[in-house]
Amino acid sequence: MIEARNITRTYRSHGAITGARVVPALRGVSFSLPKGGAVSFIGESGCGKTTLGKILTGIETFDGGELVVDGVELSGLSARRRAPYFRRIQMIHQDPYSALNPTRTIEQTLEDPLRMRARETGGDRKAVEARAAELLELVGLSPEGVLGKYPHQLSGGQRQRVVIARALTVDPEVLIADEAVSMIDVSMRLGILSLLRDLRTRLGISLVFITHDVATARYIGEDGELHVIYRGSVIESGPTDTIIQTPVHPYTQCLLSAIPIMRGLELPGPQRLVPIGSLDERTEDTGCLFAPRCPFATDECEVAQPALTPWDPTHQHACLHAEPRQVAAMEIALSQ
Ligand SMILES: Nc1ncnc2c1ncn2[C@@H]1O[C@H](COP(=O)(O)OP(=O)(O)OP(=O)(O)O)[C@@H](O)[C@H]1O
Ligand SMILES: [Mg+2]
């Protein structure tokens, strides 16, 4: 369904205080998403997750690489010819509070795009109303209960369900969920995640799931691929369960090390790994991007960023010191 090859995106910004800055948000990301499949991207704040989601939905441009949707390479097409491909890919953003227009009722929110669609397919007003109700039921809301309401009268979880229903108005083939539950009350998160999983099985929709949380990535994409992204590069990828059970890249191992331990108080043995310092510490880009924070870095790591190489036929990593290490047993439980 989607084949991304070596996608790069660099932002150039000019701040009054920071001066001219070049931020490589994505440094050559490749993956493929089969029809009805799931891929997840995991990484900490600022690693390029949202940029990738925006590129996949055409909201953001990319400056290198190829994006193939349904066999068609999009970068060579005009914006008008690209639009129908991007319409098949809908994004659900992190913030259900700002995603909905506060002055429109839920009925208006859903019926606007449905009416546009009806113009193309020849549907009438009754069909639009019926479809709006059907979509609300599909996302687990009662049409009578919410159609006449404004977003502020709904809970965060209900709003996110409306956002999902709105994405479904154009009959997408791919949903991109970017931290779709991180701003929602924990009590409602599992419901939203199981809805997304359900839409995948019931409607055959493919899912790109973007998160910083391993537990949700696992829940959503257990039978799919997991890509671990660090400062715009995929540093480990493979079947979700394999990556979670036997990560070989120190960064993934750090991510999976559940319990933060203060430096100087590490337990004996390598079982709890904590990355050193913070994401912003290094500005120059020679050598492995993770080396300055890596507990296993050696001089060799300062020389060049390792390319993604196979660990086994389905599992890839980009590290000179890749090896399965015993990391602290991670509690993979979703907060309810
Ligand atoms: N429009 C922009 N102009 C300049 N820099 C940008 C822009 N958008 C993103 N960036 C930078 O690109 C990098 C990647 O940003 P992105 O939003 O994709 O990260 P993210 O992984 O989604 O982070 P978070 O988990 O905080 O949402 C960051 O360093 C960010 O500051
Ligand atoms: Mg983001």
Segment 104-116, tens digit of pLDDT? 999 999 999 999 8
Count of domains forming the chain: 2
R_g over Cα of the chain: 21
Overall pTM > 0.85: yes
Q: What pLDDT does residue 165 have?
A: 96
Q: SS3 for 20? A: strand
Q: What pLDDT does residue 105 have?
A: 95
> What digits encode the pLDDT tens for the residues 161-184?
999 999 999 999 999 999 888 888
Place of tokens 């400062």: 231
For residue 276, what pLDDT band results from cuts at 50, 70 and 90?
low
Q: What pLDDT does residue 255 have?
A: 83
Q: Give Cβ neighbours of residue 127 (< 8 Å, ≥ 6 apart).
A: 118
Give me the percent of the chain exceeding a pLDDT of 90. 56
Rounded to the nearest angstrom, the distance between the alpha carbon of 270 and the centre of ligand 1 is 32
7 and 130 in a single domain? The answer is no
265 pLDDT above the threshold of 60: no
Rounded to the nearest angstrom, the distance between the alpha carbon of 45 and the centre of ligand 2 is 7
Nearest CA to ligand 1 atom 18: 48
Within a domain: 111: yes
Q: What pLDDT does residue 278 have?
A: 59
What mean pLDDT comes out for the span 290-300?
87
Rounded to the nearest angstrom, the distance between the alpha carbon of 47 and the centre of ligand 1 is 7
Place of tokens 């068609």: 72
283 pLDDT above the threshold of 60: no
What mean pLDDT comes out for the span 237-266?
76
Q: Report phi then psi at 225, rounded to 5.
A: -100, 145
**Domain stops at, among 144, 163, 182:** 163
157 and 177 in a single domain? The answer is no
Q: What pLDDT does residue 124 have?
A: 85
Rounded to the nearest angstrom, the distance between the alpha carbon of 120 and the centre of ligand 1 is 36
80 and 178 in a single domain? The answer is yes
260 and 188 in a single domain? The answer is yes
- Written as six digits, the tokens of 95 are 């913030």
102 pLDDT above the threshold of 70: yes
Domain that holds residue 305: 2-88+172-334
Nearest CA to ligand 1 atom 24: 45
- Written as six digits, the tokens of 43 are 């990484």
What mean pLDDT comes out for the span 199-217?
90
Q: What pLDDT does residue 277 have?
A: 58
43 and 189 in a single domain? The answer is yes
**Domain stops at, among 114, 141, 163:** 163
182 and 47 in a single domain? The answer is yes
What mean pLDDT comes out for the span 294-314?
91
335 pLDDT above the threshold of 80: no
Give me the percent of the chain exceeding a pLDDT of 70. 88
Rounded to the nearest angstrom, the distance between the alpha carbon of 178 and the centre of ligand 2 is 7
Q: What pLDDT does residue 37 have?
A: 94
Q: Which of 51, 61, 95, 210 should be mutated for ligand 1, with most atoms under 8 A from CB?
A: 51
Q: What pLDDT does residue 17 have?
A: 73
What mean pLDDT comes out for the span 263-289?
57
For residue 89, what pLDDT band results from cuts at 50, 70 and 90?
very high
109 and 182 in a single domain? The answer is no
Q: What pLDDT does residue 267 have?
A: 42
What mean pLDDT comes out for the span 298-325?
92
Within a domain: 235: yes
* Residues bordering ligand 2, an ion, CB closer than 5 Å: 49-50
**Domain stops at, among 146, 163, 180:** 163
Give the least confident one: 125-134, 158-167, 282-291, 297-306.
282-291
Ligand 1: which residues within 6 Å by Cβ?
11, 13, 23, 25, 45-51, 212
Rounded to the nearest angstrom, the distance between the alpha carbon of 43 and the centre of ligand 2 is 10
Torsion, CA 97, CA 101, CA 105, CA 106, rounded to 10: -60
Which one is predicted more confidently, 124 or 327?
Answer: 124
Please report, for the domain that includes residue 199, its CATH number. 3.40.50.300
189 and 49 in a single domain? The answer is yes
Give the least confident one: 22-36, 85-99, 259-273.
259-273
Cα–Cα separations (whole angstroms), residue 262 to 90, 136, 235, 278: 41, 47, 25, 14
Within a domain: 120: yes
HSE (CB half, 13 Å, CA atoms) of 79? 4
266 pLDDT above the threshold of 60: no
Mean pLDDT (the chain, rounded): 86
Nearest CA to ligand 1 atom 29: 46
The sign of the torsion formed by the CA atoms of 21, 54, 31, 181 equals positive
79 and 223 in a single domain? The answer is yes
CA 187 to chain centre: 21
Atom of ligand 1 nearest to the CA of 13: 4
> What digits encode the pLDDT tens for the residues 30-60?
999 999 999 999 988 889 999 999 999 999 9
288 and 242 in a single domain? The answer is yes
181 and 158 in a single domain? The answer is no
